[in-house]
Structure 1
Amino acid sequence: MASGEYRKEDLLEENRTDSGIDSYRSILKEDPFIKTAREPSSDSSGPRDKFSSGEERLDSAYGSSSLTVESLTEMVSETFSISNTQEQAQGTELSEQEQEENLLTTITEDGDTILHLAIIHEDEYFAQQLIQLFPKDVLDIQNNLYQTPLHLATYLNLPGVVEGLVGKGASLELQDQDGNTALHVACQHGQTDCATKMTRDISSSKLAPVLETQNWRGLTCLHLATLNRQHHLMKLLLKKGAGLNIQEGTSGKTALHLAVELHDIQSVNLLLNRGANVDAGMFNGCTPLHLAVGRQDATIANLLCQSGADKMLRNLEDETALDLADGNDDILALFPFDDIHISGRSVVGVNY
């Protein structure tokens, strides 16, 4: 999904409330935006519930397009009005500062803060103002899908907002409902600029846990970058110290196994040149060479052999890579004597 898919044309309309803290201060002072009660609807069917089950979820879903600037303004106004009415009922008068804080820290029924909503609207200026205003704890609030503002800014490819959040101390370790950190999101969707901003000024000690984090599918950031052929991101992650030989949680594949499965020779070369274990075994004992031969990829099989792959390693089915060659002459040429056995023992390495 393109990040501009639901970018609103009405962001520039003259009647739109200006972005920024000052504009929301004006909301607190001027009656047109603050309603003590919902005005009667001209629609005979009654007021429409913007969270009704018949409409697409608008806040926490990445691809939502039903939220408009007008409905955001209305949501903010109504939220403040309800809160303010409750305070007045308790006989408490709020100062302007307290009212502003109340408004800006309000959370919708979907768990989104005003900052989440500003980012969903791709209103970068207002988002940056909120980032400067909010304390770190508010920046790390997760909505009902466990998405932080950093997750959303990354998905929507807003590197400036990502930089602002990370610079203010937003956590890189928080995981969404799929177990993905914001860096996972960047690697999955190829958001190189966001990943660069996210990792630029972070110490290795702070970044290491993020690089080792596995989502609920058992995938690290390097696994995701490899699966999506994001070579620039792979280089960035490796430069930052990503573990080359971490096994994903489902079958024990390393990034090299994944690259071999994809027939991605560029990734294979990159990983081997950075020191990936050419003989790493999956949970079933298969090495990258087993996978290359099993997929009849003579080019990658040859590259692995040139990098020192052990041709005699056996998986849990007691198979060597040669056993999976299935008569492929190009691959069999890589094993000139492996099929010759005397008394059940290979003649390779035997001195006569």
Structure 2
Amino acid sequence: MSLRRRTALVALTAAPLVWAGAYEDFFAAILRDDGDAVAALLRRGFDPDTRNPKGQVGLTIALQNGCPKAFNALLAARRVNVNALNAQGESPLMMAALKGNLDAVKALLARDADVNKTGWAPLHYAASAGTPQHTQIIALLLENHAYIDAASPNGTTPLMMAAHYGSDASVQLLLDEGADPTLKNQLGLTAADFALRVSRTESAEKIAAAIRRRQPNRGKW
């Protein structure tokens, strides 16, 4: 057998061993948090940004399902796009912020993940839950120059999200860092309105106090 024919035969027989079912194996490995299996597929040339049938990329799937080993294996890949959006327009940094995964947020920021994505931003997602980790993530995003009054497509700001879904601590942090309490969304609602809708009187009072502080002092005759 000639060298050329032997080379062709090796290629034909080896390819199925490497790639047969690789697509299914990749997503199965992520969901069982098998970082070694994910890394092995990536070393063989599998695209880390491959999407599943629902348009989700591996990084986001790993974050959604609490799979840190798979996440770390994916993030270690040079070719991985840390700003890849899923079918809902969410980035891995947004998902890490939503999940309160402080370590993942730090790791993504170290890879230059986009802090100021247009539309819904990571800061909105960090403000949408009330654990201490979410407040820490808000602070970290702000340290990395996140725009504090980022407006979603319907004009919602991170302060509004924190007032409705987050914690009083997150509301206070955003106010202390300069969030504008007077802004309104497309429905004409302020952050105080968001808080009052869910009977969060303490947050509403914090926001009202911030608005008063912004008003010029009026002298008395």
Which letter maps to 1:271?
L
Deviation at 1:253, TM superposition (A): 2.5
Distance 1:282 1:262 in 2: 17
Spell out the pairing of 1:1-352 with structure 2 (5 A cutoff). Answer: 98=9, 105=15, 130=17, 134=18, 138=19, 147=23, 149-200=25-76, 202=78, 206-207=79-80, 210-247=81-118, 252-263=119-130, 264-295=134-165, 297-326=167-196, 328-329=201-202, 331-336=204-209, 338=211, 348-349=215-216
**8 Å CA contact 2:193, 2:204 repeated in 1:** no
Give the TM-score, by structure 1 length: 0.51
Distance 1:166 1:105, change over 3 A: closer
**8 Å CA contact 1:301, 1:331 repeated in 2:** no
Distance 1:148 1:211, change over 3 A: farther
Distance 2:101 2:55 in 1: 20
Calculate the aligned-residue CA RMSD, in Å: 3.2
Which letter maps to 1:287?
T
Deviation at 1:105, TM superposition (A): 4.8
Deviation at 1:321, TM superposition (A): 1.9
- Secondary structure of 1:212's match? coil
Q: With CA pairs under 8 Å and 6+ residues apart, which has the higher RCO, 1 or 2?
A: 2
Distance 2:57 2:45 in 1: 15
Distance 1:314 1:334 in 2: 13
Distance 1:231 1:333 in 2: 26
Distance 1:323 1:339 in 2: 15
Distance 1:339 1:324, change over 3 A: farther
Please list every run of at least 4 consecutive aligned residues from structure 1 whose deviation after the TM superposition is greater than 6 angstroms: none
**8 Å CA contact 2:156, 2:184 repeated in 1:** yes
Distance 1:295 1:193 in 2: 29
Please list every run of 5 or more consecutive structure 1 residues that lacks an aligned counterpart in the other structure: 1-93, 107-129, 341-346
Please list every run of 5 or more consecutive structure 2 residues that lacks an aligned counterpart in the other structure: none
**8 Å CA contact 2:181, 2:210 repeated in 1:** no
Aligned identity (percent) is 23
Distance 1:148 1:276, change over 3 A: farther
Which letter maps to 2:205?
L
180-189 or 328-337, larger mean C-alpha shift: 328-337
Larger radius of gyration: 1
- Secondary structure of 1:261's match? coil
Give the TM-score, by structure 2 length: 0.76
- Secondary structure of 2:211's match? coil
Which letter maps to 2:93?
L
Q: How many pairs are equivalent?
A: 208
Deviation at 1:102, TM superposition (A): 5.7
Per-residue CA deviations over 1:23-68 (Å, capped at 9, x if unaligned) read xxxxxxxxxxxxxxxxxxxxxxxxxxxxxxxxxxxxxxxxxxxxxx
Per-residue CA deviations over 1:233-253 (Å, capped at 9, x if unaligned) read 222111111112225xxxx42
Which letter maps to 2:170?
I
